[in-house]
Amino acid sequence: MSTSQFDAATTALEDISGDYTIDASHTRLGFVARHAMVTKVRGHFDEFSGTAHVDTANPAASKVELAIKAASVTTGNADRDGHLQTNDFFGAEEHPEITFVSTEVSRDGSEWTITGDLTIKGTTKSVTIPFEEVGTAKDPFGNLRLGFEGSVTVKRSEWGLTFNAALETGGVLVSEKVVLEFDVSAIQNA
């Protein structure tokens, strides 16, 4: 992941150890899938909450928990959003939350690797997500913020999201592989 297209990140904390709450208004939990095998469709979730305990001296003692409201999926198209909420995809009525709970955390400099249990539509699978520690800042309201960016490619069928349609020209309507994207801003707890 390269952040070189943006201004340089800041560093307000030398040691980021501590407890944090994800700032949902400055965080994007998104995904990218191929549509008709010719373009990318992007989406994200509007409602979620999460916490993190960061231990730089002993990264294995770090942990992350995340809960996402499945019905808050947004792609910019109301019909598609409605379809994504059905049992063809997230089954939001029967399975209102998508969750992630870390099971293992490691660190190499500013690179973190978080493995955890991702539960979608009642199915739990382990995923490993590489994250880059972007920076820290003290905002105008006195909050100490920590930023991380990460992504991972998953096969949606592993969570029972199997809806598809064959295309006349070959291929399918929705790609099997989906990229999960995490742009996280977390506020250190007082």
| Beta-ladder partners of 110 | none
Closest CA to 129 of 71, 179, 78, 75: 179
Handedness of CA 152, 188, 135, 40 (dihedral sign): positive
Domain ranges of the chain: 18-188
* pLDDT value, residue 10: 75
- What homologous superfamily does CATH list for 18-188? Lipid/polyisoprenoid-binding, YceI-like (2.40.128.110)
* pLDDT value, residue 4: 65
Q: How confident is the model at residue 147 (pLDDT cuts 50, 70, 90)?
A: very high
What span, in angstroms and rounded, lies between the C-alpha atoms of 76 and 182? 19
At 102-139, the pLDDT tens digits run 999 999 999 999 999 999 999 999 999 999 999 999 99
1 pLDDT exceeds 90?
no
Of 10-19, 90-99, 148-157, 178-187, least confident by mean pLDDT is 10-19
**What is the phi/psi pair of residue 58, to 5°?**
-135, 75
At 2-61, the pLDDT tens digits run 556 777 777 877 889 999 999 999 999 999 999 888 899 999 999 999 999 999 999 999
* pLDDT value, residue 168: 87
27: exposed, middle or buried (Cβ count in 10 Å: 0-12, 13-18, 19+): buried
Mean pLDDT, the chain, integer: 93
| Beta-ladder partners of 21 | 51, 187
Largest CA distance in the chain: 58
